[in-house]
A = this chain, B = another copy of it.
Amino acid sequence: MRRPVRSSVALLFLCALAACSALRPAPPDPLPSWRDGAARSAIVSFVSAVTDPDGPDYLPPAERVAAFDNDGTLMAERPRPAHAAFLYAGVVAAAARNPDWSVQTPYAPIVAGDLGAADALGYAALGALSDAVQAGLTETEMDRAAMAFVAGPAPPGFRAPVRELAYAPMLELVRYLEAAGFRVFVVSASGVDFLRAIGTLVYGLPPERFIGTATKYAVSEQAGAYHVVHAPGFSTLNAGRFKAINLRLHVGVRPVLAVGNSDGDLDMLRYASGGPRRSLVLLVDHDDADREYAYRDETERLRAEAATRGWRWISMRYDFGRVFSGASE
């Protein structure tokens, strides 16, 4: 008579322990949008090695810093980077108040809807557009405008709204790294204030994880209300060596994992791989004309350097099982 009772005692005890601690089901695959292959294996091996407290490559959590480029790395940069599309939309919205723009560079092609011609003006034009659209906005006005744009419909020429242009495998990689104790920073030549709206609405990364190009700022105070306000000009252009320098300025710890896709990322990638720790550098190859785009612009130096340094290419065509986070393919 006592035995079944004892068994049920033991069973209840185990159930109670199991319910609240160890005996959970196996966790789901953290990288379901990645196909098996060299890129996925390199990622998993690296993270296992640097988080193994008994291994030679163990990194204390304080040093687990990862740096990701944004445009073309975390999300599509075609037909143009999202921040450029935001500036174009701002010009169109303000064109009626600025009739001269229909004959002035760099506004005229945007007002006329010839966005390819506007793109061809390159980075130099973006300074004037940033001044025209952002200068004078308080931080609150800027944040609202950026959030509305990211949450809004597809910009002209885009195949989908901005919030659907992030790469599902890359967002999984960000979450996989965060779960392994990494702090992931997004290091971009696009404007930092704009990017933070994508961070909030799409990536789920807090705003202090974004390092980008920034306008100058002023402050204004009236009747106790105090605002930081966007001013004309740039205070930092976060490209080339400034991607490394601004990581030092903002984070203070050299990243050991960096991901980029063009020559503008070279300094950041060299910085990540040029220290004493084991590092992993990943490069996104836009080789998928069917599901995204196929192009190799501004990757010549990157391709040469990757070959000699053992940096690893991610093929969007072969390594990505699914491409876009917003779409159900």
A→B interface (CB under 8 Å): 2, 5, 8-9, 12-13, 16-17, 19-21, 62, 139, 183, 185, 192-193, 196, 200, 206-208, 210, 214, 217-219, 221, 224-228, 235-236, 241, 244-245, 247-254, 267, 270-271, 273-275, 309
B249 touches A192 (CB 8 A): yes
Interface majority SS (helix, strand, loop, mixed), chain A: helix
B219 touches A139 (CB 8 A): no
How near does chain B come to A183, taking the closest CB pair, in angstroms? 7
Residues of B close to A254: CB separation below 8 A? 139
Residues of B close to A196: CB separation below 8 A? 252
B250 touches A208 (CB 8 A): yes
Known: A208-B208, A217-B245, A235-B249. A228 touches B271 (CB 8 A): yes
A12 CA to B207 CA, complexed, in Å: 47
Residues of B close to A271: CB separation below 8 A? 219, 226, 228
A208 touches B274 (CB 8 A): no
Residues of B close to A267: CB separation below 8 A? 219, 226
Q: Could you list 20 A-B pairs, sorted by A, with CB under 8 Å? A: A8-B9, A12-B12, A13-B16, A62-B200, A62-B207, A139-B254, A183-B208, A192-B249, A192-B252, A208-B208, A208-B253, A218-B245, A219-B241, A221-B274, A226-B270, A226-B274, A226-B275, A228-B245, A228-B247, A228-B271
Residues of B close to A185: CB separation below 8 A? 208
B249 touches A214 (CB 8 A): yes
Residues of B close to A206: CB separation below 8 A? 62, 183
Shortest beta-carbon contacts, A-B, top 4:
A226-B274, A207-B252, A16-B16, A228-B248
Contact of A274 among B19, B227, B249 (CB under 8 A): B227
A188 CA to B91 CA, complexed, in Å: 38
Taking CB as reference atom, which chain B residue is nearest A226?
A: B274
Residues of B close to A245: CB separation below 8 A? 217-219, 228
Contact of A20 among B20, B225, B253, B273 (CB under 8 A): B20
Residues of B close to A192: CB separation below 8 A? 249, 252
How near does chain B come to A213, taking the closest CB pair, in angstroms? 11
Residues of B close to A9: CB separation below 8 A? 5, 8-9, 12
Residues of B close to A273: CB separation below 8 A? 224, 226
Taking CB as reference atom, which chain B residue is nearest A214?
A: B249
A224 touches B12 (CB 8 A): no
Residues of B close to A207: CB separation below 8 A? 62, 251-253
